[in-house]
Amino acid sequence: MLSAMSTQPVATRADATRRNLLDAAFGEFYRNGFQGGSLNRIVEAAGVTKGALFHHFAGKRELGYAVVDEVIEPLLRERWFSPLAGSVEPIAAMKQAFRRFIRMDVDGGSWVYGCPLNNLAQEMSPLDEGFRARIERLYTTWRQTFAAALAAGIAHGSVRSDIDTAQAATLIVAAQMGIWGTGKYSQDGALMTQAGEALCAYLDMLAA
């Protein structure tokens, strides 16, 4: 009898294998860092061989780059960019997203590992230009997205007109990193939640 896998088109099987590797690598690097991450554990979690890994990625570094580009970036866009798309009430949208994802991460337990993007930024930006450039691109887009949302709020009248949107966006993104960093170092979900409420209080000060 043919297995279900064997009846799939070759391209579909290859795509599924690559995705499994990316998801497994994301989890491994998130829990153990890039340098501490194990390729053996990644292929075991993905249910493939090392040969399959090296068929899709030239090495661990290229796998790490792909995790940033194909796993972390879409997660960033889903969590923090999408809630602001087309919103003329960016303060309310940001507060709702912060509270939602802080609660989700605390309830789900992932908060103890911090922010996957910030973890890689702290670990790899000083060591590898490929990581640094990718991470800086994402942070730049993040700040620009928040600044644009605040500018839209100013135009609508929901955000104070006297604020510097770029400065405010820079502070908000840095504060977000601090919230997840607080959870990671303290292992205290209540403290992480308190830090999130402090950021929401700052956002209230930006409202018109």
Which superfamily does 60-206 belong to?
Answer: Tetracycline Repressor, domain 2 (1.10.357.10)
**Inter-residue long-range contacts of 130-137, CB under 8 Å, 24+ positions, other chains counted:** 130/61, 130/65, 131/34, 131/64, 131/65, 131/68, 134/65, 134/68, 134/69, 135/68
The answer to whether residues 166 and 160 touch, using CB atoms and an 8 Å cutoff, is: no
pTM (two decimals): 0.88
pLDDT tens digits for range 1-43:
333 444 455 558 888 999 999 999 999 999 999 999 999 999 9
pLDDT band at 166 (very low <50, low <70, confident <90, very high): very high
Mean pLDDT score across all residues of the chain: 92
> What does the pLDDT read at residue 11?
59
Mean of pLDDT values over 168-189: 95
Cβ-Cβ contacts under 8 Å for 183 (sequence gap 6 or more): 105, 106, 111, 112, 114, 189, 191, 192, 195
User: What are the boundaries of each domain within the chain?
Assistant: 1-57, 60-206
pLDDT tens digits for range 54-78:
999 999 999 999 999 999 999 999 9
Q: Which amino acid is at 50?
A: K
Q: Which of 49, 150, 136, 137 is nearest to 91 (CA)?
A: 150
Mean of pLDDT values over 107-132: 94
pLDDT tens digits for range 101-110:
999 999 999 8
Domains 1-57 and 60-206 belong to one CATH topology: no
What percent of the chain has pLDDT above 90?
89
* 10-24, 89-103, 126-140, 148-162: least confident range: 10-24
CATH 2.60.15.10 fits 1-57, yes or no: no
Mean of pLDDT values over 133-160: 96
> What does the pLDDT read at residue 14?
82
3-class secondary structure per residue, 175-189: HHHHHHHHHHHHCCH
pLDDT band at 123 (very low <50, low <70, confident <90, very high): very high
> What does the pLDDT read at residue 23?
96
